[in-house]
Amino acid sequence: MKYSICDFRFYLGGINPKSPQGVAAAFSKANKGALKLANTSLLFEFASNEIVNSLIHRRRRRQLFDNNAVADIFRDELSDALQQVDLGALIPPQTFDVDLQCDDNGPCDPTSPFRTYTGHCNNLRNPGWGKSLTTFNRLLPSVYDDGISKPRTIGVTGVGLPNPRVVSRVIHPDISNLHGRYTLMTMQFAQFLDHDLTMTPIHKGFHESIPDCRSCDSKRTVHPECNPFPIPSGDHYYPEINITSGERMCIPAMRSLPGQQKLGPREQVNQNTAFLDASQVYGENHCVLRDLKGQFGKMNATTHPVRGKELLPQSDKHPECKSPSGQCFIAANDKLTPAACLNSLWKAGTDIE
């Protein structure tokens, strides 16, 4: 309810999908299944926060600890313990089901020579491993300021963490080093593979709008999942202060959708399968593929007006499209623009049998 009220109140403040911020948000656009999963995850998150805060408040009143360091240790222990609570007997599993028309949850067929679109049953011993709409595994446990979901701002030494923009500027300096052997296509192929393996969706606003998180207080005034960070002083590209309003400027950021289906810390969801299975070509579920295929099972396409070659299908319903004709390429993944040529090549390859 908290999210719905906030979304409705600031619906008219959504940004233009064709703006740079709107196009960037399209690269992490959530599908219906991810949004349904996140709604349940947020309930678990709210419940976990209430349990932790209630127990800490009770212990403070009983004076079992009187400093924040001890409280933080207790908070972390509670967070770990909550993950071990099994709610299966209390909440039916079907409560968490996504769109059954799009998802695969049936028994595995060990005789099938084909992988499934969702990745379900690709591993017969562990059918859910690598499936679309499952949470990412972590190399290290999650760390949040409140033990559950609040973004981390303080390091292990007690000092504030560096500004993300500063980290980006130091690690990725804007230096042009032309390579004598590898072209840009090498990078694009790696990016193409990445788009097959991972897709971390972000929150949407009311009625599919894109919340405007540019304001430094947008977490309070626009959407609870906005997470902007201030532009550091001396930045070579972005001004620190808006010369018109005199207000501090921030770089917009929206948090990723949660996907955990249990109590405990927030975990992020992968909308793609974790397999190299061309999900950026075919889609990560049956519904995406259905929209990309024609009447006789062949992938939809448009024909080049001069050479007669098949290209990716086009649509006039692409909200981020800036083409004068109103027609833009579509594929299983909204990240096709940076590697449109590779998407076209793989699409053509799928029709060769």
Q: For residues 59 and 224, is the Cβ–Cβ distance under 8 A?
A: no
Burial class of residue 58 (count of CB atoms within 10 Å of its CB; 0-12, 13-18, 19+): exposed
Confidence of residue 1 (pLDDT cuts 50, 70, 90): very low
Whether residue 12 is predicted with pLDDT greater than 60 in this model: the reply is: no
What residues act catalytically?
A: 195
State residue 176's pLDDT score: 84
Whether residue 150 is predicted with pLDDT greater than 90 in this model: the reply is: yes
Confidence of residue 218 (pLDDT cuts 50, 70, 90): very high
State residue 5's pLDDT score: 44
Q: For residues 147 and 76, is the Cβ–Cβ distance under 8 A?
A: yes
State residue 42's pLDDT score: 94
Whether residue 295 is predicted with pLDDT greater than 70 in this model: the reply is: yes
Kindly report the average pLDDT of the chain as a whole number.
Answer: 85
For the record, the structure tokens of 91 come out as 């909440």
Q: For residues 269 and 276, is the Cβ–Cβ distance under 8 A?
A: no
Which residues lie across from 226 on neighbouring strands? 254
pTM of the model: 0.86
Question: Mind listing the pLDDT tens digit for each residue in 21-80?
Answer: 998 999 999 998 999 999 999 999 999 999 988 888 777 776 655 566 556 667 778 888
State the DSSP H helix or E strand holding residue 303, giving kind and residue range, or none if neither. strand 302-303
Question: Mind listing the pLDDT tens digit for each residue in 84-139?
Answer: 887 766 666 544 555 667 888 889 999 999 889 999 999 999 999 999 999 999 99
Percentage, residues of the chain above pLDDT 90:
46
Whether residue 177 is predicted with pLDDT greater than 50 in this model: the reply is: yes
